[in-house]
Structure 1
Amino acid sequence: MRRLASRLPGLALLSRSGTPPWGSPRAWLSSACPEKAAVAPAAEEWGPDPGSWPERLADLVTPLWRLDYEQQLRVKTDALRGLLQWLEGRLRLLGSPDGEAGVLCSRLQPFRPSPVLHGYRNKCNFAVRQGPDGRPRTVGYVLGSGGEQQPVCVRPGHLKHIPDAHQRVARCYQDFLEQTPLDPYLDSDASGHWHELTVRSTSQGHTMAIVTFQLQGLSPEELQEPQEELREFFTRGPGAICELASLYFQERSGDQQQPCYQLLAGNPYLFEDLPGFKFRISPGAFFQINSAAVEVLYRVVGELIGVDPNTLLLDLSQGTGATSLSLAPHTSQVLSTGLVGQAVEDAKWTTAFNGITNWEFHADHVENVVPQLLKSQEAGQSPVVMVDPSRTGLNFQVVRAIRNCTAIRTLLYVSCYPEGKAKRNFLELCCPPDPGKDLLGEPFVLRQAVPVDMFPHTPHYELVVLFTR
């Protein structure tokens, strides 16, 4: 810690907060949680008003599913140009030369398409609620029902971006719920036990299922029966067709601070292979949702950031640290401060397995861990900062610290939701000095913006932006 602090004076950053962009489906879904659309199931599966429920769900979670892929990319490109034009207009009002009409749009590169369009999600969260046909133990996605008072849970068999393996696990979990004596959990009165289902998978075809269970005061001894029932169903019963690599039981209670994962069967981790790297993924760790497009994203990051053997890369991102780990062999050193929970141990395993020796993780608050970057310059290193915040963007304190640290000349910002707070971050990074907000450092210049389509059939994408000064 002392060695790190001596290298990085004067930069006070706060760690980012928030959750990955694709959160729980317990609440009403929004387009922030893109779900998949493919072949519509038989109409009788949907109960009253057949055909409308699948389309309603597809329109909500995969709004672009009716368009061909080229049209989808045009829609996203138009939205991104609108964002850059907004930024130009705000900078123009502030007297920045980069506010001139068309300047930032000229720095926008074409979309890098996703190599896979259907079944690309490697993580899906399924809710348990009453279905349109009245079945109380339906597994799928919650959808508002218009005039009805209660939302309903629509099965996901028609959604284009959910892989077959995930749909199979969801169907089997519904079969399990129909035979178990314990009731599913209900948000309305906080009763019942069986809760959400999370399914994770890898490009190698390995699948992990995580079943969330509301304790409701059950003792460890009383938990043994439902745990064994779930294990028996998915290992030797009808659910064995899923061929799970891992089966987890996640306990949840009202006063619980951290999720408690219990491995019921199989391997404790999943492993994702990318060219030259193997990454370990724990049940609660974040990993990019589209494994096939991850390689594209990492390639773009490497091209823009331009690291070399003299580069000191400061990674303020969360997840499993995979992006900066993929760059570590090309840098002098990688310092990571943004990892939390199981992701820390995953990253440490990944570094050891892949022979990475120049990666360090520091768990202290960023403002304490990274006091300055100036001495890294004195030692002949070129400091580069990479941020990959959640949908909530960077805290203003983080932006202010980056702006006011003169050692930072290159910043790479990876955003999963540039239309949100990220665009405000862009403005704060690029605006002229503002003593009233304590933005005293030289403004950054947006040099290149490269969109990567990680989420086909939805309006969402990853935007990689290179800022220099």
Structure 2
Amino acid sequence: MCLWLTGIKRRVLMYSLRCFLSRVGLFSKPGLLPWCARKPSDWSQPFWGIACKGNFSHVISKKCPRGQKSHKKPTHLGPHDGSWQERLADVVTPLWRLSYEEQLKVKFEAQKKILQRLESSLQMLNRVNDTITAPKSEELCCLLHPVIPSPVINGYRNKSTFSVNRGPDGNPKTVGYYVGTWRDGNIVCVQPNHLKNIPEKHNQVAQETFGNVCSHFGLISLENGWVLLLVSGGYWRELIVRTNSEGHTMAIIIFHPQKLSQEELYIQKEAIKEFFIKGPGAVCDLTSLYFQECTMTHCNHQQSPYQLLFGEPHIFEDLLGLKIRISPDAFFQINTAGAEILYQTVGELSGVNSNTILLDICCGTGVIGLYLARHAFQIIGIELVEQAVEDARWTAAFNGITNCEFYAGTAEKILPQLLKSKEDGQLIVAVVNPARAGLHYQVVQAIRNCRAIRTLVFVSCKPHGETTRNIIELCCPPNSAKKLLGEPFVLRRAVPVDLFPHTLHCELVLLFTR
């Protein structure tokens, strides 16, 4: 079955720093949300202290003392025993040792601390400008609702991304996640089949099949160990597995072609396809298998198209009464059951009605807008990934939704022009759900300066860093130097929704009005 070329086996591999660096979280009245109490009961001082100090996870790896050189990476790091499993769990799911109730307490305190810092920054700006546009810090507990728990605690991920590299036992074909640091030279790949957030199906595809693919088709042995490279050697980059609630499975193999010709690539793709159709990989019963040639840290569909080797081009998910189409490059919340709670929360906070235009910025596959379309006058979605926009349009047509428009491109280019045509007295509710990098400053300017936007719902799984800057610019006093001329927004409600049990992350839904 192995069709790997003899010439490729002689290729020498070297480490790439870039490879590793690219890999190393309504309601005006109480009672409208689950856990509507002002502060959850039975607070334990240990968890309060942990959260307030920002010390949310256990120490994952020991650092070399200052002045002491780290040892070179050995070719064999010892047996793949429970200690490695625990180290990986501490990296990927740092709250796994706590009960779920305790996890929610930790997350609540983390969100509270973030909002306190944000509010302090806003009040400092307001004092400088002798204005008051933000609530006092002692009122924060009235604004922050307790965390809405995830309906599913274990195995909730519908998408997992696995790497291929040397394991703790020296096995170069280990499929999993990285543990260790580049500085200490101890990065290894550890199998994740014990992690609480990954479903069994994903591990089956990764371990029982893709590991065999690597065995058959192409890692190369060196005397000083096994390595995976982006530039001068190494072909197997990543494996992405997507599943839906019906068990349909899409697998995407990310492959660095190095200097292979198109004929050689064709041979490899045919061999992989045969492996998953008639070989050992058939046990996974894949709905679709994609192949992407990627020479960079990450490639989208426009940079390097996903090539369908066999099966259906999409998978589908039933969500909030809609049938949603999902392409390999499209963003979709990794916790499907939790996403339903999240979108319902956004809908209640937004207060859309038949006279409202809902502007969904960074809309992904358009689920928020499509879900609220029945209540709104019009839905306008903006999304960078073209495949996701195509999915949103298909979903709207399939579900008979006719009051939606979706635009593909960067929000900073589309939004300002779009809002110019909406300054006619029509009320606009904006929903933004950006990536962890936050919103482009031109998007913030466009929202801030559009008088028709009176309500803004901001969804973030990383409500600090650039997102904090976004919020400050939305709420600060007018600033002509930054072209922030419109009336500032005021934070009214903060609702954490847990989509990521066992991790430190949480979706924070913020309601702003003006």
TM-score scaled by structure 2?
0.79
Match of 1:103 among 108, 133, 139: 139
Q: How does 1:336-347 map to 2 (within 5 A)?
A: 336-347=381-392
Q: Which runs of 5+ in 1 are unaligned?
A: 1-23, 32-44
Shift of 1:439: 2.2
Partner of 2:246: 204
Of 171-180 and 272-281, the range deviating more from structure 2: 171-180
Partner of 1:371: 417
Partner of 2:86: 55
Kindly tell me: are residues 372 and 265 of structure 1, through their superposed partners in 2, closer, same or farther at Cα, counting changes over 3 Å?
A: closer
- The DSSP-based 3-state class of the residue aligned with 2:306 is strand
Of 252-261 and 397-406, the range deviating more from structure 2: 252-261
8 Å contact kept, 2:383–2:389: no
Amino acid of the structure 2 residue aligned with 1:425: N
Partner of 2:267: 225
Q: How does 1:344-359 map to 2 (within 5 A)?
A: 344-359=389-404
Write the distance in 2 (CA, Å) between the matches of 1:232 and 1:456: 37
Of 152-161 and 396-405, the range deviating more from structure 2: 396-405
Shift of 1:214: 1.4
Partner of 1:156: 192
Write the distance in 1 (CA, Å) between the matches of 2:356 and 2:189: 50
8 Å contact kept, 1:127–1:141: yes
8 Å contact kept, 1:197–1:210: yes
Match of 1:80 among 111, 115, 127: 111
Larger radius of gyration: 2
Partner of 1:281: 326
Output the aligned Cα RMSD.
Answer: 2.5
Write the distance in 2 (CA, Å) between the matches of 1:148 and 1:320: 40
- The DSSP-based 3-state class of the residue aligned with 2:195 is coil
Match of 1:215 among 257, 262, 281: 257
- The DSSP-based 3-state class of the residue aligned with 1:337 is strand
Match of 2:120 among 89, 96, 108: 89
Shift of 1:224: 2.3
Amino acid of the structure 1 residue aligned with 2:331: F
Partner of 1:144: 180
- The DSSP-based 3-state class of the residue aligned with 1:347 is helix
Shift of 1:337: 2.1
Kindly tell me: are residues 190 and 114 of structure 1, through their superposed partners in 2, closer, same or farther at Cα, counting changes over 3 Å?
A: farther
Q: How does 1:40-439 map to 2 (within 5 A)?
A: 47-48=78-79, 50-93=81-124, 94-95=126-127, 96-144=132-180, 149-171=185-207, 172-181=209-218, 183=220, 186-187=228-229, 190-253=232-295, 258-363=303-408, 366=411, 367-368=413-414, 370-371=416-417, 373=419, 376=422, 378=424, 381-439=426-484
Shift of 1:52: 1.7
Question: Between Structure 1 and Structure 2, how many residues are aligned?
Answer: 432
8 Å contact kept, 1:416–1:461: yes
Of 304-313 and 223-232, the range deviating more from structure 2: 223-232
Write the distance in 2 (CA, Å) between the matches of 1:230 and 1:76: 43
Kindly tell me: are residues 30 and 108 of structure 1, through their superposed partners in 2, closer, same or farther at Cα, counting changes over 3 Å?
A: farther
1:2-56 deviation per Cα after TM superposition (whole angstroms, max 9, x unaligned): xxxxxxxxxxxxxxxxxxxxxx99647567xxxxxxxxxxxxx994373221111
8 Å contact kept, 1:278–1:354: yes
8 Å contact kept, 1:129–1:186: yes
Shift of 1:390: 0.7
Kindly tell me: are residues 132 and 374 of structure 1, through their superposed partners in 2, closer, same or farther at Cα, counting changes over 3 Å?
A: closer
8 Å contact kept, 1:333–1:359: yes
Q: Which runs of 5+ in 2 are unaligned?
A: 1-17, 26-75, 221-225
Kindly tell me: are residues 218 and 287 of structure 1, through their superposed partners in 2, closer, same or farther at Cα, counting changes over 3 Å?
A: same
Write the distance in 2 (CA, Å) between the matches of 1:72 and 1:261: 38
Of 132-141 and 147-156, the range deviating more from structure 2: 147-156
8 Å contact kept, 2:77–2:170: no
Of 278-287 and 223-232, the range deviating more from structure 2: 223-232
Shift of 1:185: 7.4
Write the distance in 2 (CA, Å) between the matches of 1:30 and 1:316: 29
- The DSSP-based 3-state class of the residue aligned with 1:356 is coil
- The DSSP-based 3-state class of the residue aligned with 2:268 is helix
1:363-393 deviation per Cα after TM superposition (whole angstroms, max 9, x unaligned): 46544554364764646x3211111111011
1:210-237 deviation per Cα after TM superposition (whole angstroms, max 9, x unaligned): 1112112323322222112211221211
Kindly tell me: are residues 181 and 146 of structure 1, through their superposed partners in 2, closer, same or farther at Cα, counting changes over 3 Å?
A: closer
8 Å contact kept, 2:319–2:340: yes
Kindly tell me: are residues 98 and 284 of structure 1, through their superposed partners in 2, closer, same or farther at Cα, counting changes over 3 Å?
A: same
Kindly tell me: are residues 271 and 27 of structure 1, through their superposed partners in 2, closer, same or farther at Cα, counting changes over 3 Å?
A: farther
Write the distance in 1 (CA, Å) between the matches of 2:317 and 2:347: 19
Write the distance in 2 (CA, Å) between the matches of 1:127 and 1:368: 36
TM-score scaled by structure 1?
0.86
Partner of 1:15: none
- The DSSP-based 3-state class of the residue aligned with 1:98 is coil
8 Å contact kept, 1:28–1:142: no
Write the distance in 2 (CA, Å) between the matches of 1:254 and 1:440: 40
Kindly tell me: are residues 238 and 83 of structure 1, through their superposed partners in 2, closer, same or farther at Cα, counting changes over 3 Å?
A: same
- The DSSP-based 3-state class of the residue aligned with 2:137 is coil
Partner of 1:458: 503
1:219-276 deviation per Cα after TM superposition (whole angstroms, max 9, x unaligned): 3322222112211221211111111111111122369761221111211101011131
8 Å contact kept, 2:79–2:168: yes
Write the distance in 1 (CA, Å) between the matches of 2:172 and 2:420: 61
1:67-103 deviation per Cα after TM superposition (whole angstroms, max 9, x unaligned): 0001101111001111111122122222335242222
Write the distance in 1 (CA, Å) between the matches of 2:364 and 2:148: 22
